[in-house]
């Protein structure tokens, strides 16, 4: 056999092997695809990413009418499973929490936080960090008297700032953001800022830019290869995230020095650092493997940054929605005022202990959360291992979204869901019905 013939044989052999490999891959892919939840067909490389429109939650809800409350869709190069009903969300996140509580490793949040902290740490570290964080907040009086006192004090600063507006029509988002951030800062760092403090203004600006850029950077999550492209949105996100982290890191180090001189100094950061010290100083044989995340100080940095960034944005946004709904529904505003006047009096500040006396206001708060849908698709989750769910196979690493908007706007559960109606949460006796 001459050289030419040998080359032909080699070429045919390689072609045959490539053909076999392609067929094997196609069969494997189709087999797995067949067991996935149904869903819309997308385009090569981009999937259905550009079919979502400006309101993805509404598009998902429309698709659910065709494919069911559990369906799958390709967004860019990523497979995403959509949970579009209360029952599907509960069955996934509650009944199968260990499989559905992971975080996507290639999301924007995961990349900028290095998969550390409360938002992006992988399961089960995320659960352990969350448990520790909640324990610390409870020990510091979270949702109890000490937190209430912080809110009272900050409310006075907020009211003074609004009085200075002297009735001039103004966008109040800035002063609300200031107030919410200060309450979080007092809990996290043990201090607050004056509203005209330039450092505080820069911190809030960076936080606003981070939340804006994260929301506008979906392409970087669903087409991960774009992360390596020189995109402006990525540069801006990194710039503002670094500014936030630099401030938090500096403050953590400062609190560490203060704890030496003021042992009783208490804040979330100081309490977390105490746990870190207890872990490091414990005997090797007594170190609980469940707490190994305490070895990495970056978890504290990212946890604090996450609480500050997400907590400020969501709470302030909720307050803005509340103001909007009260402006658009003067009868609701009047009823809230009268309930306070009749049950608390105008000379006393309402407290958490007065909650039972203010059922209508509680119903208003519940209706704001339902109707505003502040985070309509929740945080991205991921499947930590292959799982058979509702008869379908969902592969490990698949991203998962919960369409909270669809739950809150479901006509089967809510009468005229598009209306703002707090009375839907009250029974005939005016008592709260927690559905």
pLDDT tens-digit map of 249-273? 999 888 887 765 555 557 899 989 8
Q: Has residue 355 got a pLDDT over 70?
A: yes
Cβ proximity of 317 and 207 under 8 Å: no
Return the higher-pLDDT residue of 422 and 111: 422
- Position 432 confidence tier, pLDDT thresholds 50, 70, 90: very high
The number of beta carbons lying within 10 Å of the beta carbon of residue 143 is 10
- The H or E element spanning position 78 is strand 78-83
Q: What one-character DSSP code corresponds to residue 397?
A: T
Average pLDDT of the residues in 76-89? 95
Range with the poorest average pLDDT among 63-67, 326-330, 351-355: 351-355
Return the higher-pLDDT residue of 70 and 170: 70
pLDDT in tens, 374-404: 999 998 999 999 999 999 999 999 999 999 9
Q: Residue 136 and residue 158: Cα distance in Å, rounded?
A: 27
Q: Has residue 39 got a pLDDT over 50?
A: yes
Cβ proximity of 394 and 383 under 8 Å: yes
Give pLDDT, residue 27.
41
Average pLDDT of the residues in 409-421? 95
Q: What percent of the chain has pLDDT over 90?
A: 46
Give pLDDT, residue 33.
54
What domains appear along the chain, each with residue ranges and CATH number? Answer: 119-328 (1.10.630.10)
Instruction: Look up residue 183 and give its two tokens.
Output: 């309450």
Give pLDDT, residue 404.
97
């Amino acid at each position: 056999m001459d050289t030419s013939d040998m080359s032909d044989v080699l070429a045919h052999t390689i072609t045959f092997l490539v053909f076999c490999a392609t067929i094997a891959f196609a069969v494997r892919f189709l087999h797995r695809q067949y067991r996935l939840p149904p869903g819309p067909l997308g385009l090569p490389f981009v999937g259905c990413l550009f079919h979502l429109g400006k309101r993805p939650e509404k598009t998902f809800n429309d698709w659910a009418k065709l494919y069911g409350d559990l369906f799958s869709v390709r967004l860019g190069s990523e497979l995403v499973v959509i949970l579009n009903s209360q029952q599907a969300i509960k069955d996934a996140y509650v009944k199968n929490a260990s499989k559905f509580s992971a975080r996507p490793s290639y999301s924007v949040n995961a990349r900028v936080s290095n998969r550390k902290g409360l938002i992006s740490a992988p399961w089960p570290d995320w659960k352990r960090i969350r448990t520790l964080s909640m324990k610390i907040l409870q020990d510091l009086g979270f949702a109890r008297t000490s937190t209430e006192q912080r809110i009272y004090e900050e409310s006075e600063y907020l009211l003074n700032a609004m009085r200075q507006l002297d009735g001039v029509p103004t966008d109040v988002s800035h002063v609300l953001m200031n107030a919410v951030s200060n309450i979080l800062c007092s809990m996290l760092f043990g201090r607050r800022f004056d509203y005209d403090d330039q450092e505080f203004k820069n911190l809030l600006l960076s936080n606003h830019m981070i939340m804006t850029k994260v929301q506008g950077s979906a392409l970087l999550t669903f087409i991960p290869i774009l992360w390596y492209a020189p995109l402006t949105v990525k540069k801006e996100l990194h710039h503002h995230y670094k500014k936030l982290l630099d401030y938090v890191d500096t403050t953590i180090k400062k609190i560490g020095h203060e704890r030496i001189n003021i042992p009783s100094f208490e804040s979330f950061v100081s309490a977390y650092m105490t746990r870190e010290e207890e872990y490091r100083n414990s005997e090797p044989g007594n170190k609980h493997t469940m707490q190994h995340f305490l070895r990495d100080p970056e978890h504290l940095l990212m946890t604090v940054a996450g609480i500050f960034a997400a907590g400020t944005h969501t709470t302030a946004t909720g307050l803005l929605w509340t103001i909007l709904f009260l402006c658009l529904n003067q009868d609701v505003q009047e009823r809230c005022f009268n309930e306070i006047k009749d049950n608390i009096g105008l000379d006393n500040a309402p407290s958490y202990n007065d909650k039972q006396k203010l059922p209508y206001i509680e119903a208003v708060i519940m209706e704001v959360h339902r109707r505003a849908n502040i985070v309509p698709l929740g945080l991205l989750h991921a499947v930590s291992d292959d799982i058979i769910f509702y008869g379908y196979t969902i592969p490990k690493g698949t991203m998962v979204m919960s369409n909270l908007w669809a739950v809150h706007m479901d006509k089967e559960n809510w009468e005229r869901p598009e209306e703002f109606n707090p009375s839907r949460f009250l029974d005939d006796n005016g008592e709260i019905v927690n559905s």
